[in-house]
Amino acid sequence: MTTTTAPIATATELDLPLPPPVPPPSLPAEDIKPKGEGRDQKS
C-alpha cells in the first residue's frame, strides 16, 4: 500500500509547486504587477 501512495503523493506535490497559486511572501502580487507595468510605461 505504501508503494501505491508514494507515487501519488509525489505526483500531487510536483503538480502543486509547478503552478504557484500563492504570491511570494516578499511582496504581494498586486504591488508587483502595477509596479512592473508602471515602470515599463513610464520608461
Q: What residues does each domain of the chain span?
A: 2-42
pTM of the model: 0.14
Question: What secondary structure does DSSP assign to 1-43, as a single string?
Answer: -HHHHHHHHHHHHHHTTSS--SPPSSS-HHHHHHHHHHHHHH-
Tens-place pLDDT, residues 1-43: 555 555 555 555 555 555 656 666 665 555 555 555 555 555 4
